[in-house]
Every structure is written in C-alpha cells, then in structure tokens.
Amino acid sequence: MLRRCKMGLLFYPFMNLLKKLIASFENAPGGFSARKLTAFAFTVCALYLQWKHATPETVPTLVLIDASAALLCLGIVTMAELVKLRHGGKE
C-alpha cells in the first residue's frame, strides 16, 4: 500500500502533463496552446542542433536566430518588426 502511494505521487505530475499535452492535440479545454507547443518544439530542436554542430564562433549568431524564431512562433514579434530590425530600424 505504501509503495503504491509513493508511485502515485511520483507519477502524478507526469500524468497531469501528459493529459494536458493530449488535450492540446484534441483542442480540448485545459490543453497547451499551439503557439507554445510550436515554440517549445522549435527551441528543443535548435538546442539539440547547437549542442551537436555549433562552434564557438557561430554560437552568438545561432542564439540570435533561434531566439527570433521562438519569439516569432509565440507571436511576440512579427516579420515586419524583424525586417525593420534587419535594416537598422529604417522603414
């Protein structure tokens, strides 16, 4: 009985996370938003690629690109703002 309680307490956060993840794919209330899932998936992929293939010289550029893409996925910045930033703030 005691072991069962410990296992339930151990797996409860994981099961709750799994339920929310499944609810987000079914568009059910209580799930995560598609923007957050997209930004999270992109960030995980980018971190893996940087960990495997980045050199010390390319890290600052890659971090800027990855942060911009994650912010774009979340809708915090728009493509127009990124183009304006790229051209030095000129219209």
Please tell me the pTM assigned to this model. 0.56
Length of the chain: 91
**pLDDT tens, position by position, 62-91:** 888 888 888 888 788 887 887 887 777 665
Question: Residue 21 — very low, low, confident or very high, per pLDDT cuts 50/70/90?
Answer: confident
The closest alpha carbon to 71, from 46, 30, 32, 35, belongs to 35
CB 38 within 8 A of CB 72: no
